[in-house]
């Protein structure tokens, strides 16, 4: 139990938190007004922020990565709280592509990315120290490369920490936790939501949990309605990573994390009574039971985000200025 579950969670958590601090420190030192100006344009309104975040999440294949990166930028003072609202909504939409491309996970590139970042950082430090006299004026370039490499290394550590924590999934499966949850979920849809939330919180991967639900449904062993309940729960369970990232964060960073929780939990509770209707619409889009769960997730995230989008324009958010 200790070697297969407890140790990987603690070890991964340490790597995760260390990566968070490295990333936000490097971003704060390097980016300055350049990154701040870009982000201000990309998130000038909640709608723009949502579209921007949707695209970034689709590229990174991880809403967790976007949420953690956003918190890092807020902690570094490069992004104000009100501009994160659209980003959070967009990350929920962009992550739907992960379900469609369930076999692709950004975490598998964490170690190579970390290694390359460290190598680039070492080379830039050596070059900065021994560069020819004529290149002295370009010292800012070397400093920028060093800080970018450190920020990338920190991001890689965050993904590596999540991947380490995901190593507990075989042990959980062997312990019968998956089977027990699924068996209970077939009797009550609330157990499906609980299964999705609990397993995602433990595995730090909503894509893995939803992928499991899709596979079981496609095999005919899991009703589509229960699978949709698992999807709703997975969207709640994925908030745990944001809450972990909030440890030691600034007040603004913590506020971003809790906003993520409120939006995801609120969306899940809102859709709980409408699972049959969601299943019916998904069935119109595909006859395959596994695909219906994927369609239901996409519909849920898009509709939830669009419903919450008008709230992001309330004047109260611009008045919130939290400092560390």
| 40-69 tens-digit pLDDT | 677 777 888 888 878 777 655 567 667 777
Q: Is the per-residue pLDDT at 103 higher than 50?
A: no
CA distance 300 to 221: 23
| 241-264 tens-digit pLDDT | 778 777 777 777 788 888 888 888
Q: What is the pLDDT of residue 324?
A: 45
| 216-250 tens-digit pLDDT | 677 666 778 888 888 899 888 888 877 877 777 77
| 180-226 tens-digit pLDDT | 666 666 667 787 788 888 878 876 667 667 777 776 677 666 778 88
Provide the pLDDT confidence category of residue 134 given band limits of 50, 70 and 90.
very low
| Whether the Cβ atoms of residue 207 and residue 99 lie closer than 8 Å to each other | yes
Query: Which secondary structure element, helix H or strand E, spans residue 242, and what is its range?
Result: helix 239-245
CA distance 195 to 218: 18
pTM for the whole structure: 0.65
Q: What is the pLDDT of residue 29?
A: 72
Residue 61's region, left for phi above 0, alpha for psi from -120 to 50, else beta, is left
Closest CA to 235 of 206, 271, 274, 259: 206
Provide the pLDDT confidence category of residue 135 given band limits of 50, 70 and 90.
low
- The CA-based dihedral angle spanning residues 23, 57, 227, 198, taken in that order and rounded to the nearest 10 degrees: 10
Q: Is the per-residue pLDDT at 5 higher than 70?
A: no
Q: What is the pLDDT of residue 164?
A: 73
Closest CA to 43 of 73, 68, 64: 73
């Amino acid at each position: 139990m200790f070697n297969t579950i407890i140790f990987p969670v603690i070890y991964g958590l340490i790597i995760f938190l260390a990566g968070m601090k490295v990333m936000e420190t490097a971003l704060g030192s390097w980016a300055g007004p350049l990154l701040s100006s870009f982000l201000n344009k990309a998130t000038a309104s909640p709608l723009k922020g949502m579209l921007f975040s949707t695209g970034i999440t689709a590229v990174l294949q991880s809403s967790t990565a976007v949420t953690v990166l956003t918190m890092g930028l807020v902690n570094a003072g490069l992004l104000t709280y009100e501009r994160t609202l659209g980003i959070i909504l967009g990350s929920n939409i962009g992550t739907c592509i992960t379900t469609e491309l369930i076999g692709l996970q950004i975490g598998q590139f964490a170690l190579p990315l970390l290694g390359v970042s460290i190598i680039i950082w070492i080379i830039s430090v050596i070059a900065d120290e021994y560069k020819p006299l004529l290149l002295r004026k370009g010292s800012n370039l070397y400093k920028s490369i060093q800080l970018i490499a450190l920020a990338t290394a920190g991001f890689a550590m965050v993904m590596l920490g999540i991947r380490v924590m995901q190593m507990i999934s075989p042990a959980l499966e062997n312990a019968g936790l998956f089977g027990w949850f699924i068996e209970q979920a077939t009797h009550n849809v609330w157990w499906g939501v609980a299964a999705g939330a609990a397993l995602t919180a433990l595995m730090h991967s909503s894509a893995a949990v939803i992928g499991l639900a899709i596979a079981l449904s496609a095999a005919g062993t899991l009703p589509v309605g229960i699978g949709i309940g698992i999807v709703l729960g997975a969207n709640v369970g994925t908030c745990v990573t944001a809450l972990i990232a909030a440890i030691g964060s600034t007040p603004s960073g913590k506020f971003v994390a809790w906003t993520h929780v409120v939006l995801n939990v609120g969306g899940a509770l809102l859709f709980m009574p409408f699972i049959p209707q969601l299943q019916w619409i998904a069935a119109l889009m595909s006859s395959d039971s596994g695909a219906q769960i994927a369609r239901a997730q996409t519909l849920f995230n898009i509709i939830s985000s669009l419903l919450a989008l008008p709230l992001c324009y309330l004047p109260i958010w611009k008045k919130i200025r939290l400092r560390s």
